[in-house]
Amino acid sequence: MTRLISCRGMKPRFLIDPQVVNFPRKIITSQEKSYATTEYVILQNPEKRSVTWRIDDSSLQLDNEVFTIHPTTGTVDSG
């Protein structure tokens, strides 16, 4: 079976580094004995206009304060 697929390439609106964040494994026995680990993600915008971004965290269970994401919205200026 052969199918014709047509597409148009688009350059990214902004660049994310790293594209995948691998958190180290950690066993949490209680909230008092946990030590925070922070992972940073860098957003770059090569476009001529600012880009507004948002992380949809509605599927994450963030009510137990073991895992948090800050900030979840923002603007990346051009260049």
Instruction: Band the pLDDT of 13: cuts 50, 70, 90.
Output: confident
Question: What DSSP string runs through 38-59?
Answer: ----EEE--SSS-EEEE---TT
- Of 53, 74, 64, the closest CA to residue 28 belongs to 64
| Inside any domain, residue 63 | yes
More confident residue, 31 or 6: 6
Q: Give Cβ neighbours of residue 53 (< 8 Å, ≥ 6 apart).
A: 14, 43, 73, 74, 75, 76
| Inside any domain, residue 5 | no
> For position 66, what pLDDT does the model report?
65
How far, in Å, CA of 48 to CA of 77, rounded?
9
| Inside any domain, residue 6 | no
pLDDT in tens, 19-65: 888 877 877 776 666 667 788 889 898 888 888 888 887 777 655 66
- pTM for this one? 0.59
More confident residue, 32 or 71: 71
Provide the residue range defining the domain that includes 51. 12-18+38-79
